[in-house]
Homo-oligomer: A and B are copies of this chain.
Amino acid sequence: MRLVSWALASAIIASLSLASCISPAAAESIESATRKEFAKQDRACFQCHRSLNPGLAEEWRSSAHAKKGVGCYDCHRAEKNDTDAFEHNGATIAVIVSPKDCARCHQNEVDQQKGSHHAKAGEILASLDNFLGEVVGGSPAVAVGCFQCHGSTVKALPNGKFDPATWPNTGIGRINPDGSAGSCSACHTRHNFSKAQARQPGTCGKCHLGPDHPQVEIYQESKHGILWEANKERLNLDRKLWKPGVDYTAAPSCATCHMSATRTQGVTHDVGDRISWTLRPAISTKLNMVVFDDLSKMDVPEGQALPNVGDERKGSDDKVRKVTQVFTWQQRRERMQDVCTSCHAGGLVNGFYKQFDDLVDMYNDKFAKPAAAVMAELYKAKKLTPAPMDEKLEWTYYELWHHEGRRARHGASMSGPDYAWWHGIYEVAKTFYLHFIPEVKEVAGEPLATELMDKYVYSQPGHRWLKEGMSKDQLQKIQDFYRQRYGDQK
C-alpha cells in the first residue's frame, strides 16, 4: 500500500471535478464556494484522524470517494437539530451516515433499496418476533446477534453518542435516528466503500450464513463458488457495471445474479427483484410483486388477486399508495434466467428450474404442509399453550422449517447438493420421522394422534412406506446390495 502525502491527495482532489456517477442534481446542489468550504473542513478531519485512527483515514484516502473529491464532511455533516448531531471541533456532524445521507449523491441506489426486504429487516426486531432473542435468549444477545445483521432502532443520546444497546451495528435494516431504514455500509464497508469488495460473496455472507439460511456456504460449495475461488483474478471486480458475459465470464458472485447489470437489465439494489419463490416461511409460495408510488413494494403470493397499475391501496399505516408496477413471479424469474443465460444455454437453465421447483413442491407437500396443519390442530385442540417456544415440539417444528427445510430449499436454489440433501432433506426427514411424529403423538394423545396421522401424514403418498412397510422382494434386494457393497458387516 502506498501512502500518498496529504499534499498529493488534496492536489488530486482539487484537480477532479465532481464525477459523473453521482446524481447531477446532487452535484449541482453543492456550489463551488460550499465545495471549497467542505474541502477545508475535510482537511481538518483528515489531519486529526490520520493521527488518531490512521486505518480509517487511509482507507478513505485510497477510496473512489477521495479520488472524486468526496470527503468526510460531505457524508458526516448534519443539521444542528438532527437528533444525533453534535459539535465537533467547530463542525456540526453525526457519526451515523444513513441512506438519507448517501442519497445526496446516490439517489437511484437508495430508491432501489427502499422497497427491498433488506430495508425491512429491522422491523422483525421492533416487533415481537424477537421473543426468541429478547426473552428466550436475552437482550444482550440481541445486540451482538440479531441487530448486527437485521439492524436495531438506533437510540441517540446527547452529544452525538448512542445507546450502546442499539449501536454499533451496520444491520441492513437499521432504523436510523433520521428515520431512514438501512445501512449502506453493511455491504459497502467503511471507509473505502469499494465496489469490488461489495461484490465479494463474503460481503453477503456476513448475514446470509449459518444453520437457518446458509446461502454463502451453499454458494461456496456450488460450481459457482468453486469457480470464483479459482478465478478471482480474472473477474475485473472493479468494472463499473460488471456485466456477466461482458466484463467477466469465469464465475459469478451473489451480486452477479441478484444485483448486477446484465446485457439487458440495469443494476438493482433490491435483491428480491429476480426471485420467484420465497424460501423463507414454513411453506414456500411463488411471489408476484407490486410496486407503489412511494417506491415501497408488496409481495402477493401466487393465486391471490393482483391489483392493477393505478389502483390505490391503504397500508397498515393508513397511508394510501398508488400501484405503479406489477411484476408476476414469472417475470421475476425471467429476470433471473436472463442472468443465467449470460453463461448457460437455455436447456440447462430450464432443467435446473424444473429440479428446483420439484424439490420445493415436494418439501411443501410431503413435510411442510402436513407439519403446519398438525401444529395448527394441536393449538386449536389446546394441546399446546399459545405461548411460543415453551414446549419442546415447538422447537422441533421451528427447526424443521426454519433451519432444515430452508437449507434444503436454498441448497436446491443455488446448486449446493450437500445442503439440499445432507443438511437439508436428510435432516428434514430425520426430524420429521424421529422427533416430530413421536412428539406429536405424545402431545396429542389418542384418539387425536391417530386422527392427525391418518389425515395429514399417511394421506401423503411419500409417507406410505412407513405404514405399509416394504415387500420381501424389495427388502432382499436392499440386503443383497448392502452385502455386496459393504460386506457382511450388517
Contact = CB atoms under 8 A, between A and B. Distances in A.
A53 B203 contact: no
In this complex, which of A1, A245, A417, A469 has the most chain B Cβ atoms within 10 angstroms of its Cβ? A417
A310 interface: no
Which of under 10, 10 to 19, 20 to 34, or 35 or more describes the interface residues of A? 35 or more
Given A136-B433, A490-B282, A477 B55 contact: no
B53 A429 contact: no
Contacts of A388: 478
A209 B221 contact: yes
A147 B420 CA distance: 11
Given A206-B226, A226-B206, A420-B141, A249 B59 contact: yes
Contacts of A139: 358, 362
A469 B385 contact: yes
A172 B133 CA distance: 38
Contacts of A465: 135-136, 390
A14 interface: no
Given A167-B351, A385-B469, A145 B490 contact: no
Nearest to A222: B206
Interface string A171-210: 0000000000000000001001010110010110111011
A89 interface: no
Given A127-B481, A167-B351, A434-B395, A141 B226 contact: no
Interface in A208-239: 209-212, 220-223, 225-227, 229-231, 234-236
Query: 3 closest A-B pairs (Cβ-Cβ)?
Result: A145-B421, A55-B343, A54-B245
14 contacts: A55-B244, A140-B412, A141-B359, A144-B417, A147-B417, A164-B350, A200-B230, A206-B417, A281-B485, A281-B486, A376-B490, A379-B490, A390-B465, A390-B469
Given A129-B478, A129-B482, A138-B366, 20 more contacts: A53-B341, A53-B344, A136-B433, A138-B462, A139-B358, A139-B362, A140-B358, A140-B412, A141-B408, A144-B412, A145-B424, A148-B417, A149-B418, A203-B226, A206-B223, A209-B221, A210-B423, A281-B486, A281-B489, A390-B465
